[in-house]
Structure 1
Amino acid sequence: MDWSGGREALVVCSDRSMSVGITVWDMVSGDQLLHIPTCAASPHGLLCLREQFLVASQIHRHGSLGGGAIFIWPLNKPQSPLRNYPMEAIGPVSCSKDGVYIVGGAPSGNAYIWEVADGRLLKTWRAHHKSLTSVVFSDDDSLLISGSDDGMIRVWSMISLLDIADCGRFPSLFHSLLEHTSSITGLLSISGSSSPVLISSSLDGTCKVWDLVRGRLLRTRVFPAAITAIALDPGEQLLFSGSADGRIFVSMLDTGLVGDPFDVPENQPIVLNGHNRSITTLAFSRLGLVSASRDCTAHLWDVASGVIIRRFNHPKGAITNMVVIPKSSLLSVTNHQRFSNQFRVSLLDKYPQPGNSSMGMITLLPSCCSNRVHLPTIGFQSTASLNQQILDLEQECTPGAIQMKLETSIENRMWAARMTKHVMEMNKHLQSRLLDLMQNRLLLSADSTATRKRKKAMLESSRIQEEEQSQLPSYQ
């Protein structure tokens, strides 16, 4: 990730009161850079979209029938958020790596997926029987993973979720993982050395490592306290597990896969002590590990020495959400920013709509664009509207139209390549499982044949013995 200037900002919010809002600090100096009023989000309810927007699921927000809302702020102009009111309150939210989709989970167990460009509600379905506590995309965006308050983890195929033919039907469940015994508090997806890997944490005091393709549990790490947050270092070698008592456990990541370079024996984890209440979220910046807690503080750690480099005090309330963003995202769009990096988002539909709407959009556009270009028509849209805009722009022979068409073609090809790779991997593993089943069936068949032959031989031997005994003379 290339962050111009190299400086970072820390964004935090609380779940205590809407009046607390969002606070943004400079990671190096500790100075407060920005305060956005009117925000309170439950855990996993804050994200940064394409390094240009903040998205937060609001709790206890008036104006929504379900008592919730989703606000979207452009980072270069955070005074005018886009206010969305879904059918019910939303807790955890997540976005795909390319920023095309936003997913939200509700306390009712329902899940929602929106297309960012036109705000279209693509699918809503009953994902869990209990409240959703975490939702994430797999490392390649091909799978959606959801965790609930009862400890269940479910894995959904994005192909099934986005299938138009299945609109309104219950999507196909890829895997259901049932090993945790308490609420899921964190989900992390990585590519792994030979297969996609999922790491989960729970209030049951364990972190588990899963093979995402096979849906198989690989490793379980047990801790002496409930685990409330997890994070991986940028090299994906160390697992950081924050606990309910304020400790942060540092251990080597052991995926349990064959040939994994980090397959090491379990040992006593290193412990970072600095918080006196539950850890709510963990993240990594260029400067080190960042932890936040219900003790109203966030700490920046030097992981190698276990020393706190900087403390951020948040006296207005416990920090429940935290993201690290490039400081340059807070500045106005400059002439040096590429056109392809600018896009806009739309109001999120409350109900599924038959057509796309262009109302209520936020647009980030480079100031270097020619006045001849109709600025409101440039943006990151759904495929149909985007193609129409490209045709309109091509009539003016603008370089932006050619660039837009090229970027769209590249994104479509990359998405198709990811989907193809995912399907090929699924087929490969299904073939392997089929061969194993056939081999087991052949072995069982061979064993059954041998058993029948032994029984037949025993019966024949018994019959011969009876005939021989019947031919012997009897003596009185």
Structure 2
Amino acid sequence: MLTEHFVASIAAPTKPNTGVTKDAGIFLHEYQPLAAQRHVFKKSASAPNGLAVSASHIFAAQEGKAVVHVYSREKGNQEAIVPFPERIHSIALACGDAVLLLGAESGRIMAWEVCTGRVVSTATSHLQPVTVLAVEPSSNFFLSGSPDAMIHVWNLPSILSFSLDASRSPIQTLSTHRGPITHIASGHSSTAANIAVSISEDMSALVWDYHNGQALRTYLLPDTPTAVTLDPADRAFFVAYADGSLQTLSFYDEMQQSTPVDVLREGSQSHRPLQPPPSTRFNAESQKLGAARSLSLTWDGTTLISGHESGKIAAWDVAKGTYLSTLASLPGPVTNLLFLPPTGFPLNAAEPTFKVHTVTKPRQDLVMPADGNALVPPNYGFNNVQFTGRLELPSCSATEMGRPEGRKSKFEEALTHTSFPLEMLEESLAELETWGQQQSGGASNVVPAVADFLSFAGAAEDTGAVQGDQGGKDELQELKEQFAALQRIQKVTFTQLSELREEKEYLLARERKRVQKKRMQQEKKEGGKEEGAMNGDGDGDVEMSEDEEEEEEEESLGSSGSDDGVGGSEEEDGTSSD
């Protein structure tokens, strides 16, 4: 059965007499098929954008503290309290729930690998605390926002790289807003055409092509926005306001819905601010919900839920723009709402390849060696991780050492592309320079991998040439000879298998002909008896002697054997079989 849950967190409780445990701070609710509260995690008070939920854990940055609480979803209890050197104002999960991004008070961002304990820090790029973090679906990029009205775009693989020369600075800066950034929502595409929506206290919402640093659309809002979320198909976004109302902002009007163009990237509307019509705004004043603090959307995009200052969680019909019901009433302001991926899909649905049983706290011993030769620390490794799915590894054939058909490397894809990536050219030039340094200085014996499309023998020969070691060359030559001997044995084996297959087919054909011949003789004999009985001649069949039958059978099988190209007599067949 398809089941959908959402997680809500509150700030410091403001209602002492609500029948809920005083120190309860995170609530797991089932939305469908039966709306009910399923679990409560205690001792937490998280600020907006301070909650992250993975398949195995819940992370909550404590408001005004330099502490992150970690809860185990499997055990249903608090697993760890992780301290940091400064206060944490926002968190977000990336890389398949293996990396937790933390926005710090100093304006920098820390990346914590929960499986290894490694912590990497970026440069201090924001002038004020990082209060918003949004990760795109591919985890290649993420965006950060701050009260300094700046939005930075970061390259996550570069931040997590072990290279000493890797850049840990923003690759783009989006500075159109004139007030503190309150929330950022990333689109659902993993391509370079993905978008992001940001809202600010300057009462504006901007749609970004963050890869190019271009503002695609500007909306002038009627009130101060507090939260934003995107439609699952990126057709519209929804904004929550400080007065408790919500609004739908569609990228397509009635005219644009019938026009097959990319309306967001039309030059005519990229610099013209738009003001959404008042009819798209809706609220429920009779419910006394209070200011909206958080917003989330169901998996199918039909129902919107909002968390309010009063502690109520309200459900809204997206199509009609009407209030549906109050799902829960919590003992404090609802600062975070997160819908979890639905469960109950068929068995062929994609499953995670690993499971984190216990998080590894940040380790200070994961430092680079003093000599600087190795990039990966010697004590770096995965802890408390279980592989649950099949790893995607390239298959290897016994007869073909190349890549399977239809599978190309990044280099081959770049060769067939309309333009060659500039980053790959720069990396190749830098790699050539390191080759020259290694060959002259001899400080490192690590040789970079050559192009994927080179053969095994060619790659081994190039590697031996770069190393310049005579003993290595001899060893490579011996390996080549062994490989050639294995190929010869394989060829002979395949030939023998082919001959045995042909012999098997010939023997089966003989047996089928013998059975068919015997059946025909039996039918002929029975037919002769019936005819003789009708004519009154007694036995009407003509019996053949055993010698005649064997002679006729040998002639038919001999002709069949000559057609198959194996042999024409039983003696030759016996020899072939032996």
TM-score bracket, normalised by the shorter chain, equals 0.5 to 0.7
Report what 1:471 is aligned to. Answer: none
Counterpart contact for 2:314–2:325, Cα < 8 Å: yes
Q: What is the correspondence of 1:156-167 to structure 2 with a 5 Å cutoff? A: 156-166=154-164
How far the C-alpha of 1:82 sits from its partner, in A, is: 2.4
Counterpart contact for 2:107–2:125, Cα < 8 Å: yes
Distance 1:290 1:108 in 2: 33
Change (3 A) 1:241 1:408: farther
Counterpart contact for 2:6–2:28, Cα < 8 Å: yes
Q: Secondary structure at the match of 1:161?
A: helix
Task: After the TM superposition, list the runs of 4 or more consecutive aligned residues in structure 1 that deviate by more than 4 angstroms.
Answer: 261-267, 326-329, 336-339, 355-359, 407-410, 424-430
Task: State the one-letter code of the partner of 1:379.
Answer: Q
How far the C-alpha of 1:408 sits from its partner, in A, is: 7.0
Counterpart contact for 1:242–1:279, Cα < 8 Å: yes
Report what 1:306 is aligned to. Answer: 321
1:297 corresponds to 2:304: no
Distance 2:236 2:213 in 1: 23
1:72 corresponds to 2:70: yes
Change (3 A) 1:84 1:273: same
Counterpart contact for 1:13–1:20, Cα < 8 Å: no
Distance 1:213 1:326 in 2: 27
Report what 2:282 is aligned to. Answer: 272
1:186 corresponds to 2:183: yes
1:379 corresponds to 2:379: no
Report what 2:214 is aligned to. Answer: 216
* Pairing partner for 2:227 from 226, 229, 234: 229
Counterpart contact for 1:92–1:135, Cα < 8 Å: yes
Q: What is the correspondence of 1:319-358 to structure 2 with a 5 Å cutoff? A: 319-325=334-340, 340-349=353-362, 351=364, 353-354=366-367, 355=377, 356=379
Report what 1:12 is aligned to. Answer: 8
Distance 1:177 1:254 in 2: 24
Report what 2:136 is aligned to. Answer: 138
Q: Secondary structure at the match of 2:97?
A: coil
Q: Secondary structure at the match of 2:46?
A: coil
Distance 1:117 1:103 in 2: 14
Change (3 A) 1:172 1:91: closer
How far the C-alpha of 1:240 sits from its partner, in A, is: 0.3
Distance 1:426 1:228 in 2: 42
Distance 1:199 1:80 in 2: 34
Distance 1:219 1:429 in 2: 29
How far the C-alpha of 1:194 sits from its partner, in A, is: 6.9
Give the structure with the larger helix fraction: 2
* Pairing partner for 2:169 from 169, 172, 175: 172
How many residues get paired? Answer: 367
Change (3 A) 1:267 1:147: closer
* Pairing partner for 1:25 from 29, 47, 72: 29
Distance 1:141 1:306 in 2: 33
Q: Secondary structure at the match of 1:160?
A: helix
Counterpart contact for 1:82–1:347, Cα < 8 Å: no
Report what 2:84 is aligned to. Answer: 86
Change (3 A) 1:425 1:324: farther
How far the C-alpha of 1:40 sits from its partner, in A, is: 0.8
Distance 2:63 2:276 in 1: 41
Q: Secondary structure at the match of 1:83?
A: strand
How far the C-alpha of 1:98 sits from its partner, in A, is: 1.7
Change (3 A) 1:317 1:130: same
Q: Higher relative contact order by CA 8 Å / sep ≥ 6: 1 or 2?
A: 1
Distance 1:186 1:254 in 2: 23
Task: State the one-letter code of the partner of 2:127.
Answer: H
Percent of pairs with identical residues: 22
Report what 2:149 is aligned to. Answer: 151
Counterpart contact for 1:117–1:344, Cα < 8 Å: no
Return the TM-score normalized by structure 2.
Answer: 0.56
How far the C-alpha of 1:26 sits from its partner, in A, is: 2.3
C-alpha RMSD of matched pairs (Å):
3.7
Counterpart contact for 1:85–1:350, Cα < 8 Å: no
Change (3 A) 1:173 1:326: closer
Q: What are the Cα deviations for residues 357-394 of structure 1, in whole angstroms up to 9, with x where unaligned?
A: 779x6x5xxxxxxxxxxxxxx526xxxxxxxxxxxxxx
Counterpart contact for 1:219–1:254, Cα < 8 Å: no
Report what 1:35 is aligned to. Answer: 40
How far the C-alpha of 1:173 sits from its partner, in A, is: 2.2
How far the C-alpha of 1:110 sits from its partner, in A, is: 2.1
How far the C-alpha of 1:85 sits from its partner, in A, is: 1.1
Q: What are the Cα deviations for residues 204-236 of structure 1, in whole angstroms up to 9, with x where unaligned?
A: 111001121221222110111111100112222
Counterpart contact for 1:118–1:345, Cα < 8 Å: no
Task: State the one-letter code of the partner of 2:386.
Answer: G
Q: What are the Cα deviations for residues 396-433 of structure 1, in whole angstroms up to 9, with x where unaligned?
A: xxxx7xx65x24779xxx9x97xx99xx9998799xxx
How far the C-alpha of 1:124 sits from its partner, in A, is: 4.1
Q: Secondary structure at the match of 2:89?
A: coil
Change (3 A) 1:299 1:408: farther
Counterpart contact for 1:103–1:111, Cα < 8 Å: yes
Change (3 A) 1:352 1:136: farther
Change (3 A) 1:328 1:143: closer
Distance 1:92 1:218 in 2: 26
Change (3 A) 1:226 1:54: same
**Structure 1 unaligned spans of 5+:** 61-66, 364-377, 381-399, 431-476
Change (3 A) 1:80 1:194: closer
Q: Secondary structure at the match of 1:159?
A: helix
Report what 2:463 is aligned to. Answer: none
Structure ID, larger Rg: 2
Deviating more after overlay: 292-301 vs 21-30: 21-30
Distance 2:168 2:351 in 1: 38
Change (3 A) 1:409 1:241: farther
Counterpart contact for 2:192–2:211, Cα < 8 Å: no
Return the TM-score normalized by structure 1.
Answer: 0.68
